Chains A and B, each alone.
Chain A
Amino acid sequence: MQSSARRKPNRVAGAGARRIALIGAAAGMLGGALWGAAGPAEGQAKREAPLALEGPASPVPWKRYADWPKPSWDNFNTLAKTDASPPAPKPEAVRKIAEEIKGDPAQGQKLVFDRSRGGGCLACHAMGPATAGAQVGNVGPDLSEIGNAGRTDEWFYNYIFDARVYNPETVMPPWGAHGLYNGEEIRHMVAFLKTLKTPVKYRSDADNPEKRPVPKEDRDNLDALVNPGMWAVDKAKELWSAKGPSGGACVACHANPEAQFKTWAASMPRWEQRLNKVMGVEEFVFRHAKATTGHSWLMQSEQNLAMAVYLRHIANGAEIKVDVTSTPAKAAAARGHQLMERKIGQLNFACLDCHAPAKGALKWIRGQWLGESKGQIPHFPTWRTSRLEIWDIRKRFQWCGVAIRANDLPPDAKEYGELELYLTSLNNGLKFNVPGIRH
């Protein structure tokens, strides 16, 4: 059959694979406008790239990075698991507090200021003069005078225990319901909150989340003497001609990657019918290199990151343009959107709780500025000066999870693919500037 003559064999054999290949070819024609920019020089824009389809693209079983926090939060939702967290309370399910709460305000203050259990209240709230120099955040309201607001003890208690009984849309973690603080501790916190009656006076604008200057990244991210992320480009150029176990090297088919892939990375991630999932640059690098050269450049390996940086770097300046119009891609992006709204982890946050301007985005969580969903994709993979390593977008997703106490998924998880597709579609029209540099 003609398909076997014109295509290099991939791992799936037999009639089923050929049928998929034909469907893929048809889809390729429909998507011709998208791929047109790759140019006739390539001559293979409509031919599907060979992929090793079997097995995962990241280490199995997935083990969290050695220098990351160790705990595992198996009793709470992840992007892949929706039935682990305790169910949200009914709106009227207020816990009755009959008698006055008599806690110890000093102990309450200690708990409120403590960063070890989910970040502490100051991450989002100013709480009176004692917090003037604490780099408080402003995702939640300033509570400096909450003691004057005429709130009942029952209201205070329930708001900390699980604020969803009063406001189902709240982004506030259910501190009691998710076991971060026990009843007695919450009583101490209530006692402290009742003492708050004086506005906070900041020593400087830098302490005041309403006036703190927004961080601006202005380092020259494309200068190898400024951004070690650029070293990955040199590394990838070496790898380009490195022969794999099956004798092949990238250069054998792609002699001039800088011309051939001038826009390719801007069309990724994309729906991959053969895998029945969304595939990003990193997973593509693994599966394509495996099929053609025998290299086993698993996601998150040094080689994989170098290639991922390089392929986006040579697409710098190209407008991001991922396809979310074909039926399966549209459905995958819709699932990605749902994932961004899914509450996960012990802190019970959804992506959009922190990254939608209507909620937490463009505000401070302690001294950290919460960016919005648009504008993140163009600089990934990015060099983290605080970690001395390159992070691709999947590692960023994993870190978001761990930061809100939700178990990370393997980098090749289909949920991350759907999330990446939807997030990238929000960045359509922006231009790559890779590798980025961030703290």
Chain B
Amino acid sequence: MATPTPRVRVPAKAKKGEVIEIKTLISHDMEMGTRKDADGKTIPRKIIKLFACTFNGKEVFKSDWQPGISANPYMAFFAKVNESGTFEFAWHDDDGSVYKASSKIEVA
């Protein structure tokens, strides 16, 4: 499988107190651990088990993911912004890898 690539979309600008939509997507097979390969051997589980988002270091969104989550998981959520800063995103893989992305927003 290709290296997972995260993609995020955060508005570049917002008004103070505005509720903005954040869209994220990561390319990932999300191998559920129950499928078998052509030789009948179980393909080991490899999923992203935790997705978290922080704003200026403070947690704003976090979710545990399970084997039923689709390949290339898309996650959109809303956040209220009161100040300019940086959203940081982290996808935690079963094998310990963490894929990261970040996006700045300017609040007027």
User: Which residues of A line the B interface, CB within 8 A?
Assistant: 66, 224-225, 228, 231, 234-235, 302, 388
Q: How many interface residues does chain B have, given as a range?
A: 10 to 19
Decide: A302 and B7 in contact? CB cutoff 8 A: no
Whether the Cβ atoms of B27 and A231 lie closer than 8 Å is yes
Question: Is B38 located at the chain interface by the 8 A CB criterion?
Answer: yes
Is there an interface contact between B27 and A228, defined as CB atoms closer than 8 Å? yes
CA distance A302 to B27 in the complex (A): 15
CA distance A234 to B74 in the complex (A): 18
Residues in A with CB closer than 8 Å to B7 are 224-225
Q: Flag if A228 contacts B72 (CB, 8 Å).
A: yes
Contact of A388 among B2, B23, B38, B71 (CB under 8 A): B71
Identify the closest chain A residue to B74 (Cβ): A225
CA distance A302 to B5 in the complex (A): 16
Cα distance, A302 to B7, chains bound together (Å): 20
**Across the interface, which residues of A come within 8 angstroms of B5, CB to CB?**
231, 234
A234-B9 Cα distance, complex, nearest whole Å: 16
Count contacts between A and B, CB distance < 8 Å: 17
**Taking the complex as formed, is B69 at the interface, i.e. its CB lies under 8 A from any CB of chain A?**
no
Residues of B1-60 at the interface with A, using a CB-CB cut-off of 8 Å, are 2, 5, 7, 9, 23, 25, 27, 38
* 7 contacting pairs across A/B (C-beta < 8 A): A224-B7, A224-B25, A225-B7, A225-B25, A231-B27, A235-B2, A388-B71
Interface centre among A66, A225, A234 (most CB of B within 10 A): A225
Task: Kindly supply a per-residue 1/0 record for chain B positions 68-96, scoring 1 wherever the CB is within 8 Å of any chain A CB and 0 otherwise.
Answer: 00011010000000000000000000000
How distant is the Cα of A388 from the Cα of B7 in the complex, in angstroms? 18
Roughly how many angstroms separate A235 CA and B5 CA in the complex, as a whole number? 11
- Min CB distance B75 to A, Å, is 11
State whether B23 touches A302 (Cβ < 8 A). no
Beta-carbon contact of A225 and B23 below 8 Å: yes
Kindly report which residue of chain A lies nearest to residue B25, judged by CB atoms.
A225
Known: A225-B23, A225-B74, A231-B27. 14 other contacts (CB 8 A): A66-B38, A224-B7, A224-B25, A225-B7, A225-B9, A225-B25, A228-B27, A228-B72, A231-B5, A234-B5, A235-B2, A302-B2, A388-B71, A388-B72
